[in-house]
Amino acid sequence: MMVREEIDYEKFHTTIRALFGPAVKDQNVQAFFRKVMSSPDEKPEWLEIFGCFTGESDGMSSPTKESTVLLVSEKRQITHSVVKRKDVIKGIVKVPLLHFTITASQRGVLTMFSKKMKVLATIDVEDPTWINGCDFLPNLKYVVAVTESTVILWDYQSKESQSDGFVIKPMKNCLLCVCTVTMADNLAKDTILMGDDKGYVYLLTITNDDFIMKQSRAEKESQFKVLDSESFDIPKRKLHDDWVGKIRYFSALKCFGSCSTDSINSFILDDIKRLEDHLPVKEFSVPKGVNAFTYCGKAKVIVTGGNDRILRLWNPVVNFSPVGKLFGHKHSVVEIVTNEKDQHVISLSCAKVFRVWDIQTLSPLQVFYESHGTPEEMNAFPMVFDNDHGMLFTGSDVIDIYPLANVIQDLKELPQTHEKSLNVVLYNRAFHQILSICTESVLKVWDLETGSQIYQIEDAHGLNTEVTCAAIEINGVYLATGACDGTVKIWEFESGQEVKALPLAQHSNDEHRVLKIVYLKADEDQHAVIVLEQRGKIKIIQGDSAQTDLYVTWVLSEIVPFPRRNPVVYLSLKPSSLETQDFFPEIRLLCNTSSMRNDTETFLSSVDIKCFDVLKVEGCRLIATGSANGEINLWDFESASVKCLGKTTEDNQGSGVNAILFLIRSVSSSRKRSAMSPTPSVRSDASAISEQGSSLDLHEEENAESYEINTEIKTAEETPSRKNSQNPEMSVQLLKAKAGQSPILASAHESSCIRLWSIQGNLMKELLPFSEHPSGPLTALCTDIFTKILLAGSKKGYIIRWNMASFLEDPRNKKNEIKEELCWRAHATEVVELFIEEEKNVIVTASIDGSVRLWHAMTGYYFGYFGQARKFELSDTSRLILPSDVSNFPAIIKEESKHMEKKVKYPLMLDRDKWKSLTRLPSDLEKAEHGEAAHGFKYFKALDSEKFQTLETFEFVSKEAGAVFGFLPIYELENPIEVSMPKSLQRIKAEKSSHKGREKDPDSIEELSQDK
């Protein structure tokens, strides 16, 4: 300490210049001076004056992309005058909940910054004493700062006419540090800890009452109101034999920590009760003492650093030996902070060299050097890490902000999983892995939890052959892919080896392009998939152990003539065809298609099919297709019929079906579904039919009536086991007898709506996304395995989440509604596929922008994208970041009751009853001539004027009195009070009234005289 007081830098610099001349650079002299001041006992190396340092700078290599943790090149400086001339910042504090940043300079400038580092309030303390530290009082909403002999409580919200706060004085010893004790009691009081130059630690509790009861009478007006320190009960205890350098409170440990350069009582960690009961405390001894310390909650370790230049890691319970040591600093360590999310420790030496360490591996990650400032500032270099936003704050004569590299990458780098647009993203639940395929036919497999790539296959179907779709079988062992040339291949998912293939057709063209593929069965003996081709053909492709190639075993008719009145056509089934494949029987239409082409009473089904879905459970075999003109065909092989749902006029735009999905929820337990199709739908593997036990019933009697027909149905071959399936009435009775729930068909349309259909063909409900910006046409659908959540992706990159658990339990109950819970923009372009993983509670989205991104399922929090350098942290959602092409944070949709509780701010209110009536059936609006105009103005039709409650009014006598007095209420007394007047005044008044009466009415005077 004596050396520091005797050596003056100006004299030191002058002497060095006189000895060695201009060959010595100023920056080398500064660095040499810092080393001498920090380690006065060590022998100096005089070559260091000429820049030949053997210190920390030798270990600083140029940062690479892998080793960079903090981006020094992206450093931001706050040059606001938070300090005076020749002043330095002594303390920086982050207030997490309020997003405030507080700084305190040595010469008395207190400043509060907003989240965007704009000055909210600042004050220049008139007391000439130096400020040594500061903190924030969360309950009292004051900034506390300690000086050599006072405690300042700054009211940053005070007005000009009020005082700026309070000051507690006098304090006997010189206060050097302060911290707030954070507790969850939310009482109107705060507790602070302080350390002084004699080794004492103080405990001070302040309440709102103290500001009134303990004021001292001031002889003159001052900046702060004075509180007498003698009126406070301030317990204190001597814990160190030297200065108390720092003091902090760790709410996770419910303990406070204090450090000193004392080699015996270097670091204290114990409960604040020890300051009052004087029981033994937990002491940690470190040679040459401790200058700084921190606590990492995830790793559950205390990290200390001091003049011996070693970082020590301690178990908070064990104080006799550290659990690890970190070597590398060549100068005294003066500050340590923790990056909780990444479990990194950032240490700073008095030579202004930063080092970043990994706590888990005890390895150095990055080293960088801060060059600006003068040597005297080395002991006043505070540092704090903002875990919410991933930024390091340091203070000298300015504030330096260093962002984390991964945060900057998320903000500036465009996420890219593939170089080309994506066609497929699927989830293998057995292996917890993700499959992504782009238009360049690059197939990649990723680990869901970490985001690391496992393997990659290029040109899976041959050179320049685009892979258009894929499916994974229910056990996750096999993968099926389809290509633009109509070929289909089977792969082993884990190894990526090809198993079987459907050979290329001789006359292959765009009509054979495979749009969608669904796995029906997979084992060593047999593979079966059902595919949708470009021109609407649906085929079943199989392969067995006896043959090396796949082959087509079943084809569904692509053109069906429907009656316009009742668009239902009955089929003739061939049960014998099930001998070759046991999934769907061959069919024959009970009408002549060629003779009905020109019939005005019929129409032909569309061949421009864009999507399809399959549902095959016990007692139910369904195939649904969606077309570009809005037509939905439902093939029911139990009732031997095909229905056309949602047929619209050809000139109507925006009704096209982009995705289709079966929804079914079992009463006893949630039915397992296959996640193997491009549109993850609710279906079961054919091999697991006996295990599912799912069954159906009809929940509306009117739906059952719609099944009654007057046409006799004949089959080419009929067996007793198939008779019931050929009779619709018998099929209805069978369905009613089953215990379960009827499936629902969901369709996503170009008109931005989702329609829910019963399998009887009735439109049950329509959903319109509620978002701040138009979501655009919906392009993808998926549900969770319990069918409680419905997710939709749009052409503009939005993701919408609905809760439909109560609705599926009883769709007939109007109280069971489908509630929209969340809406956010995940991509800037069209969403191709998405799925939800319930165990990890995450949602994966894929877009034509070439990226596959990961989100939190409940909040829409962005974790990152597959292909990024860093690993995912699925357990931490504290740091709010967004992709570079997205600017809006997710919007959580609240319930209706919460909307109604808000106060009215505008004269127009949304009448929700009118809104529901207008949005109940958007399909009706599509049939109108001005459908688009009606749809555009329906929001304004639902607006109604603000409804005021009728107030009690009074009947006014006269409205001619004016705008003010004419509307004042007039009260009538029940018993009027008689006014008494002197007799003399009564006589004069009577004479005047009689005189006026004679002048106005002479007839009345004559009558009066006659009476007399």
* Digit-coded pLDDT (tens) for 857-902: 998 888 889 998 778 888 777 767 788 888 888 887 765 533 433 3
Q: Do residues 176 and 255 touch, judged by C-beta distance below 8 A?
A: no
Q: How far apart are CA 598 and CA 604, in angstroms?
A: 10
Report pLDDT for 38: 61
pLDDT at 546 over 60: yes
Q: How far apart are CA 702 and CA 706, in angstroms?
A: 6
Q: Do residues 768 and 823 touch, judged by C-beta distance below 8 A?
A: no
pLDDT at 947 over 50: no
* Higher-scoring residue by pLDDT: 401, 572: 401
Mean pLDDT of 194-220: 83
Mean pLDDT of 144-162: 85
Beta partners for residue 123, in sequence order: 110
Q: Do residues 643 and 761 touch, judged by C-beta distance below 8 A?
A: yes
The percent of residues above 90 in pLDDT, for the chain, comes to 33
Q: Tell me the pLDDT of the chain averaged across its residues.
A: 77
For residue 163 the two structure tokens come to 């005082």
Q: Do residues 869 and 409 touch, judged by C-beta distance below 8 A?
A: yes
Give the SS3 label for residue 120.
strand
Give the SS3 label for residue 468.
strand
pLDDT at 540 over 80: yes
The percent of residues above 70 in pLDDT, for the chain, comes to 69
**What confidence tier does 579 reach under pLDDT thresholds 50, 70, 90?**
low
Q: How far apart are CA 96 and CA 735, in angstroms?
A: 58
Mean pLDDT of 605-632: 87
User: How far are the Cα atoms of 200, 219, 265, 266, 306 from residue 242, in angstroms, in the given order?
Assistant: 9, 37, 9, 9, 14
Q: How far apart are CA 166 and CA 175, in angstroms?
A: 17
pLDDT tens, position by position, 810-851: 888 888 888 999 999 999 999 999 999 999 999 999 999 999
* Higher-scoring residue by pLDDT: 467, 711: 467
Mean pLDDT of 520-547: 87
* Higher-scoring residue by pLDDT: 80, 606: 606
Report pLDDT for 738: 40
Give the SS3 label for residue 903.
coil
**What confidence tier does 993 reach under pLDDT thresholds 50, 70, 90?**
low
Of 86-100, 373-387, 861-875, 956-970, least confident by mean pLDDT is 956-970
User: How far are the Cα atoms of 128, 252, 279, 346 from residue 268, in angstroms, in the given order?
Assistant: 32, 16, 13, 21
Q: Do residues 369 and 72 touch, judged by C-beta distance below 8 A?
A: no
Mean pLDDT of 162-188: 84
pLDDT at 289 over 60: yes
Mean pLDDT is highest, among 220-224, 341-345, 486-490, for 486-490
Q: Do residues 167 and 143 touch, judged by C-beta distance below 8 A?
A: no
Mean pLDDT of 905-912: 53
Residue 735 belongs to what H/E stretch? helix 728-737
Report pLDDT for 952: 41
**What confidence tier does 57 reach under pLDDT thresholds 50, 70, 90?**
very low
pLDDT at 966 over 80: no
Q: How far apart are CA 625 and CA 636, in angstroms?
A: 12
Q: Do residues 145 and 152 touch, judged by C-beta distance below 8 A?
A: yes
Report pLDDT for 911: 60
Q: Do residues 856 and 437 touch, judged by C-beta distance below 8 A?
A: no
pLDDT at 918 over 60: no
Residue with tokens 């298609």: 593
Can you say whether the dihedral through the CA atoms of 85, 89, 90, 94 is positive or negative?
Answer: positive
pLDDT at 719 over 60: no
CB atoms within 10 A of CB 363: 9
Mean pLDDT of 29-37: 70
Report pLDDT for 534: 84
CB atoms within 10 A of CB 828: 16
Report pLDDT for 900: 37
Mean pLDDT of 562-591: 74
Q: Do residues 520 and 537 touch, judged by C-beta distance below 8 A?
A: no
String of b and e for 588-627 (b: at least 16 CB within 10 Å)? ebeeeeeebeeeeebbebbeebbbbbbbbbbbbbbbbbbb
Residue 1005's φ and ψ, nearest 5 degrees, are -70, -40
Nearest CA-CA partner of 284 in 325, 240, 324, 250: 240
Chain centroid to CA 997: 89
- DSSP assignment of 506-551 equals TT--GGG-EEEEEEEEESSSEEEEEEEETTS-EEEEEEETT-SB-E
Of 479-483, 503-507, 735-739, 924-928, least confident by mean pLDDT is 735-739
Report pLDDT for 992: 63
CA angle, corner 737, sides to 731 and 741, nearest 5? 90
pLDDT at 221 over 70: no
Report pLDDT for 578: 60
Can you say whether the dihedral through the CA atoms of 316, 322, 328, 332 is positive or negative?
Answer: positive
- Beta-carbon contacts of residue 133 (< 8 Å; ≥ 6 apart): 90, 91, 104, 145, 146, 175, 176, 177, 178, 179
Nearest CA-CA partner of 439 in 458, 413, 426: 458
Mean pLDDT is highest, among 372-376, 669-673, 886-890, for 886-890
pLDDT tens, position by position, 408-444: 665 567 888 999 999 999 999 999 999 999 999 999 9
Mean pLDDT of 366-375: 71
Give the SS3 label for residue 457.
strand
Q: How far apart are CA 811 and CA 336, in angstroms?
A: 59
Q: How far apart are CA 66 and CA 736, in angstroms?
A: 63
Nearest CA-CA partner of 382 in 101, 93, 145, 175: 93
Q: How far apart are CA 143 and CA 145, in angstroms?
A: 7
User: How many CA within 13 A on the CB side of residue 1000?
Assistant: 6
Cα-Cα end-to-end distance for the chain: 125
**What confidence tier does 453 reach under pLDDT thresholds 50, 70, 90?**
very high
Residue 54 belongs to what H/E stretch? none
User: How far are the Cα atoms of 67, 233, 869 from residue 866, in angstroms, in the given order?
Assistant: 20, 58, 9
- Beta-carbon contacts of residue 800 (< 8 Å; ≥ 6 apart): 769, 771, 775, 791, 792, 794, 820, 822, 823
* Higher-scoring residue by pLDDT: 855, 697: 855
Q: How far apart are CA 958 and CA 347, in angstroms?
A: 83
Q: Do residues 167 and 127 touch, judged by C-beta distance below 8 A?
A: yes
Would you mind telling me the total number of residues written for the chain in this entry?
A: 1012
Q: How far apart are CA 351 and CA 27, in angstroms?
A: 11
SS3 string, 374-404, reads CHHHHHCCCEEEECCCCEEEEECCCEEEEEE
Nearest CA-CA partner of 296 in 248, 250, 353: 250
Beta partners for residue 344, in sequence order: 339, 358
Nearest CA-CA partner of 345 in 303, 284, 310: 303
Report pLDDT for 35: 67
**What confidence tier does 199 reach under pLDDT thresholds 50, 70, 90?**
very high
pLDDT at 51 over 70: no
**What confidence tier does 78 reach under pLDDT thresholds 50, 70, 90?**
confident
Burial of residue 698, with CB atoms counted within 10 A of its CB: 0-12 exposed, 13-18 middle, 19 or more buried: buried
pLDDT at 374 over 70: no
CA angle, corner 372, sides to 369 and 374, nearest 5? 115
